[in-house]
């Protein structure tokens, strides 16, 4: 548990999960009860790749690599290798915690990576810093993401509007693997693509990766939820987090019963980046990398 | 710069001529020697375990057919960790970085908790303790069910055995087991059969070079049982030196795997895994040998290796 002024966060070691985040008692994320298994990836860290690798297969220096199939219904490898891993506590202060996990060479992944996640509470939210060092004797690919579901306090999700600064969207096939990339306002590409001016979440179904966000040159706000009274929960990110997956399940489990939820998942690359190479970070032996994203709450100023 | 190997943090145990190296990833046994003689195939510092060499198998050893099993009428789908055969192989801790919970010069305890995940709705705290003996090693596996419901458990380990420098093909294998498990083309079991008059009768010594096994054995007769532990397999070198696998009597199964393509320093080498197991393949479906732990209940069992030099 972390506290800073009116901000408070609960973090769990399993998948370095963000279990809750509040500012002055206002929930910025969907909280996870202490007695339940994290539903629908809520709050977990996705490393060394977010989202899917098609068939769990990719190619390294001309050789096919077969990852474990961790999404059996769609026959893909999903959300990296640390989903079921309890992280180690590396450092803790009153308002911050750093958790670490080793990724050992394994099926389809011949690399040794030392990874960490630092949660730092801010007076109005949270900064999340992902870091990695390549301990392999060869260069290693790296991608990372996180799976927060956002809220603006107790306002029902149906009453919120969502804004995504994305200029492009990738369409998904029936196994949720990526297809063509389109401008969000391209005609005939289907779905709710252009969210740059904000759209009500009521009736909106999102399950797509979005790119070309507002943070291309510098850390910037990339997506936000706005309540009817004008208060907002904002996702910001460093330029390294060039993509988000927006996802709106209608059966998100809550103590009050299942309902609509909205995940906006910051990611360094789009789905299947191990195959497309898009956004993929290559780390030389001993090379380190880190980048941050975060959440900020702003109450209405009127 | 770093002391983290592909097998995790390295632990060295020593005691009067006996030496073992352990890695935290999969709580792997990286090497074991008695007066300089290898009892197992060592894993080089810069390598991950080849062909599961030395790793701990938990909460099930070997395969779960198609990664599917049934719990109280509910189908469970595990992750597919052997995609080429479509099954779930060797449990959930194959790449887990264990915590070191206790360490002395000649013993170490490692722990890893298994959390609820695809096809496995249980929290199970597990541990492994390696303790050097005057002539080898004792390995104790433990588990405690931290779930609110009863949980199934099985375990095993995957050592490749050696008898010092003796060529593996020239070793003679004995396994006092009366049954073997026939398998289909995906290596899933199809039945438990009598070994008599089959190529799987290794109750009398057989030369390893003539074996082609990826076979689970049952009806294991623990030999010379003392304190609930008896010998279940041994390899004898031409000079009479011997490496023996013993198991607690509740460890009723042994898998033997022979290969000619184990990666060696100068190309492929012969190797033989003799894997202690508490349950046969696909035990989550057959129920055979499965240990059911009530909420809060714990279990421990041991196996070990012993070396005896030849007369010459």
Q: Given this model, what pLDDT does residue B1 score?
A: 41
Alpha-carbon span B312 to B310, nearest angstrom = 5
C-alpha dihedral sign at A193, A199, A203, A208:
positive
Cα separation, B128 vs B13, in Å, equals: 14
Among A97, A8, A92, which Cα is nearest to A45's? A97
What's the confidence (pLDDT) of residue A191?
58
Query: Block means of pLDDT (10 residues each) for chain B, length 312 residues?
Result: 86 97 98 98 97 98 97 97 95 98 98 97 98 98 97 98 98 98 95 97 98 97 94 97 97 98 96 98 98 98 96 59
Which residue bears the tokens 């300089």?
B36
CA–CA min distance A179, chain B (Å): 24
pLDDT beneath 50: ranges in chain A: none
Q: Which burial class, exposed, middle or buried, applies to A203 when counting CB atoms under 10 A from its CB (0-12, 13-18, 19+)?
A: exposed
Q: Which residue has the tokens 């990874």?
A: A115
CB distance B135 to B116 below 8 Å: no
Shortest Cα distance from A225 to chain B (angstroms)?
A: 31
User: For B86, which residue in chain A has the nearest alpha carbon?
Assistant: A69
Judged by a CB distance cut-off of 8 A, whether residue A301 touches chain B is: no
Could you identify the residue written with the tokens 């390598």?
A: B47
Q: Under 8 Å CB-to-CB from B19, ≥6 apart: which residues?
A: B12, B13, B31, B32, B33, B132
Q: Do A84 and B1 touch (CB under 8 A)?
A: no
B58 touches chain A (CB under 8 A): no
Q: What is the pLDDT of residue A4?
A: 86
What are the backbone angles phi and psi of residue B279, rounded to the nearest 5°? -150, 155
Q: Which two tokens stand for residue A255?
A: 């103590």
Q: Supply the ipTM of this predicted assembly.
A: 0.92
CA distance A69 to B88: 10
Q: Select from A168, A151, A167, A148 the least CA-distant residue to A159.
A: A151
Q: How many C-beta atoms surround the C-beta of residue B3 within 10 A?
A: 7
Q: Does B95 touch chain A (CB under 8 A)?
A: yes
Quick check: B51 and B273 in contact, CB under 8 A? Answer: yes
Mean per-residue pLDDT over chain A, rounded: 95
Please give the pLDDT value at position A133: 98
Q: Please report, to the nearest 10 degrees, the dihedral formed by the alpha carbons of residues A93, A94, A95, A97 taken in order.
A: 40
CB-based burial label for A197 (10 Å; 0-12, 13-18, 19+): exposed
pTM for this prediction:
0.94
Helix (H, G, I), strand (E, B) or coil at B123: coil
Is A288's Cβ below 8 Å from some Cβ in B? no
Q: Given this model, what pLDDT does residue A15 score?
A: 97
Residue B216 C-beta-side C-alpha neighbours within 13 Å: 28
Would the CB atoms of B4 and A114 count as touching at under 8 Å?
yes
Q: How far apart are CA B111 and CA B100, in angstroms?
A: 7
C-alpha to C-alpha distance for A18 and A147, rounded to whole angstroms: 9
DSSP H helical ranges for A253-296: 273-276
Q: Which of A69, A85, A103 sits opposite B79 (nearest CB)?
A: A69
Phi, psi dihedral angles at B44 (to 5 degrees): -60, 155
CA distance B97 to B111: 9
- Minimal Cα–Cα distance from A72 to chain B, Å? 6
- Look at strands B56-57 and A45-46 and give their pairing: unpaired
**Residue B105 to residues A289, B109, B265, Cα–Cα distance (Å):** 37, 12, 30
Of A37, A68, A88, the CB nearest to B81: A68
Q: Name the residue among B84, B95, B114 with its Cβ closest to that of A106.
A: B95
pLDDT at A186: 87
What are the beta bridge partners of residue A89? A99
Number of H helices, E strands in chain A: 1, 26
Is B276:B158 a contact under the CB 8 Å cutoff? no
**Token code pair at residue A189:** 């590409």
Q: Under an 8 A CB cutoff, do A85 and B96 touch?
A: yes
Residues 33-52 of B with CB under 8 A from A: 46, 48
A88 touches chain B (CB under 8 A): yes
Residue from B3, B80, B112 whose CB has the most chain A CBs within 10 Å, to mutate: B80
């Amino acid at each position: 548990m972390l506290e800073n002024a009116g901000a408070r966060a609960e973090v769990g070691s399993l998948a370095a999960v963000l279990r809750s985040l509040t500012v002055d008692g206002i929930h910025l994320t969907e909280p996870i009860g202490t007695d339940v298994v994290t539903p629908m990836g809520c709050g977990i860290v996705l490393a060394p790749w977010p989202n899917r690798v098609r068939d769990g297969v990719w190619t390294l220096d001309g050789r096919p690599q077969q990852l474990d199939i961790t999404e059996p219904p769609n026959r893909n490898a999903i959300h990296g290798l640390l989903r079921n891993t309890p992280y180690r506590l590396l450092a803790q202060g009153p308002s911050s915690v750093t958790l670490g996990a080793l990724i050992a060479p394994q099926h389809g992944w011949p690399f040794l990576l030392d990874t960490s996640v630092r949660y730092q509470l801010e007076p109005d939210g949270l900064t999340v810093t992902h870091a990695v060092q390549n301990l392999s004797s060869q260069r290693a690919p790296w991608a990372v993401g996180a799976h927060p579901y956002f809220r603006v306090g107790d306002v029902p999700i149906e009453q919120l509007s969502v804004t995504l600064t994305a200029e492009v969207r990738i369409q998904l096939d029936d196994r949720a693997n990526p297809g063509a990339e389109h401008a969000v306002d391209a005609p005939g590409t289907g779905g709710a693509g252009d969210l740059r001016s904000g759209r009500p979440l009521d009736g909106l179904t999102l399950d797509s990766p979005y790119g070309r966000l507002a943070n291309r040159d510098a850390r910037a706000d990339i997506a936000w939820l706005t309540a009817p009274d004008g208060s907002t929960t904002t996702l910001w990110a460093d330029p390294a987090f060039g993509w988000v997956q927006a996802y709106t399940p209608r059966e998100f489990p809550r103590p009050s019963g299942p309902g609509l939820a909205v995940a906006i998942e910051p990611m360094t690359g789009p789905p299947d980046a191990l195959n497309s190479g898009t956004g993929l970070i290559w780390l030389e032996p001993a090379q380190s990398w880190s980048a941050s994203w975060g959440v900020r709450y702003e109450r209405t100023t009127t | 710069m770093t002391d983290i190997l592909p097998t995790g943090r390295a632990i060295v145990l020593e005691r009067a001529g006996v030496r073992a190296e352990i890695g935290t990833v999969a709580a792997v046994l990286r090497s074991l020697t008695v007066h300089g003689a290898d009892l197992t195939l060592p894993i080089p510092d810069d390598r991950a375990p080849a062909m599961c060499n030395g790793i701990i198998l938990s909460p099930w050893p070997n395969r779960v057919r198609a990664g599917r099993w049934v719990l109280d009428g509910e189908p469970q789908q595990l992750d597919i960790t052997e995609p080429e055969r479509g099954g779930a192989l060797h449990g959930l801790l194959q790449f887990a970085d264990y915590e070191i919970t206790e360490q002395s010069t000649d013993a170490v305890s490692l722990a890893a908790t298994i959390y609820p995940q695809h096809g496995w709705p249980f929290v199970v705290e597990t541990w492994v303790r390696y303790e050097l003996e005057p002539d080898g090693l004792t390995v104790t596996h433990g588990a405690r069910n931290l779930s609110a419901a009863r949980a199934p458990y099985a375990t095993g380990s995957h050592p490749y055995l050696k008898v010092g420098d003796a060529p593996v093909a020239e070793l003679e294998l004995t396994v006092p087991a009366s049954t073997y498990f026939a398998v289909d083309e995906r290596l899933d079991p199809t039945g438990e059969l009598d070994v008599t008059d089959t190529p799987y009768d290794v109750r009398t010594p057989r030369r390893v070079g003539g074996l082609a096994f990826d076979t689970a054995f049952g009806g294991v007769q623990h030999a010379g049982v003392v304190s609930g532990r008896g010998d279940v397999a041994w390899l004898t070198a031409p000079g009479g030196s011997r490496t023996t696998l013993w198991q607690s009597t509740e460890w009723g199964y042994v898998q033997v795997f022979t290969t000619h393509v184990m990666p060696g320093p100068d190309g492929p080498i012969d190797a033989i895994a003799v894997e202690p197991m508490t349950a046969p393949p696909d035990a989550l479906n057959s129920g055979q040998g499965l240990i059911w732990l009530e909420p809060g209940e714990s279990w421990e069992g041991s196996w070990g290796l012993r070396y005896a030099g030849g007369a010459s």
